[in-house]
Amino acid sequence: MYRFLLTPRWWGINLFVVLAIPFCVFMGTWQLGRFEDRVQSHEQATKQPDPSTRAAEPLDELLPVDKVTSGRPAIATGTYADQFLVPGRELDDRQGFYVLNLLRTDSGKALPVVRGWLPGTAGSVPVPAAPEGEVTVTGDLQASENVNSNGVNSRGGLPEGQLGMISAATLVNLVDYDVYDAWVTLPETEAGGTGGAMKPVPAAAPQGSGLDLKAFQNLGYTGEWFVFAGFVLFMWFRLVRREAETARDVALGLVAEDAGAESADAESAGADAGASERLDSSEAPEVPKPTETVPAAEPSETANRP
């Protein structure tokens, strides 16, 4: 009954099923692993002490920035140079912008320092001047932003002096000196009141360390891939069952083999014959019917008498 599974058509179906199910299981397992990694990172982050409460360390000792060093206080000494405004940044449910200055260090590289946040539109609000001379800053270390970071403007087209993304890759195109692949945010207003009305920008948690929406998307994708695997298997069993039932009906004589094809041929032949008959009848010339003649009546004998 199941000999049809060895036909060329079913070899193709079986090969697809054999390849599709392991692929779906692999992708589902991979998405589940991504979700478990995010959960583990979240648990590790909650067990560790607040990075900002640790003792400050020199900047070079905390680089490169990772999930462990992100948020740690870093110390750097240098002189403030170029200043940029970072628009479209929200703080306390209010729209505003960051004030960022590049700190030229003794190593020749510059460290981006977010001195604070101001409400309003960048370029239309007065910005307090940066301290002059050599300064030592202690700020919470942050990794360079990317297109997935909150508040980033990757569309470009900003006015001169404004920056859409705090990253070394963006800043090296705007200045003629090297920039650290990191930045710091000052946890307090600058000494001497030069910060004015600027508010400190709190350090953000490193990406991928929390149970955010992306973590639950990985969990949803896990379920989808396993559902796909089950659907492929279900459809294969359904096709096999239908094919087996058809073969059984043919074997029992309930359904004639190729009956559908013969019936279609018969219907086609009948249709052709009917069309031919109609064509013949329409093309045949009409034969006029002969008119019946009434014989003339013979003259009556009484009428001929004198």
The predicted structure's pLDDT at residue 255: 64
DSSP code for 112 = E
What is the predicted pLDDT for the residue at 51? 58
Q: How confident is the model at residue 195 (pLDDT cuts 50, 70, 90)?
A: low
For the chain, the first-to-last Cα distance in angstroms comes to 108
Q: Is the pTM of this model over 0.75?
A: no
Three state DSSP letters for 71-93: CCEEEEEEEEEEEEEEEEEEECC
Mean pLDDT of 120-143: 92
Q: Which residues contact 224 (CB under 8 A, 6 or more apart)?
A: 28
Interaxial angle between packed helices 213-252 and 8-47, expressed in degrees from 0 to 180 and rounded to the nearest 10: 160
The residue among 5 and 35 whose pLDDT is bigger is 35
Q: What is the pLDDT of residue 257?
A: 57
The segment with the largest mean pLDDT, out of 87-91, 204-208, 211-215, 284-288, is 87-91
Q: Which of 33-42, 52-61, 140-149, 269-278 has the lowest mean pLDDT?
A: 269-278
Distance CA 284, CA 241 (A): 56
**Which single residue is written with the structure tokens 């294969």?**
236
Mean pLDDT of 118-138: 91
Query: For residue range 240-249, what is the model confidence (pLDDT) as tens digits?
Result: 888 888 777 7
Closest CA to 63 of 46, 53, 76, 44: 76
pLDDT tens, 248-284? 777 777 766 554 334 434 443 444 444 444 434 444 4
- Residue 85: pLDDT band (50, 70, 90) is very high
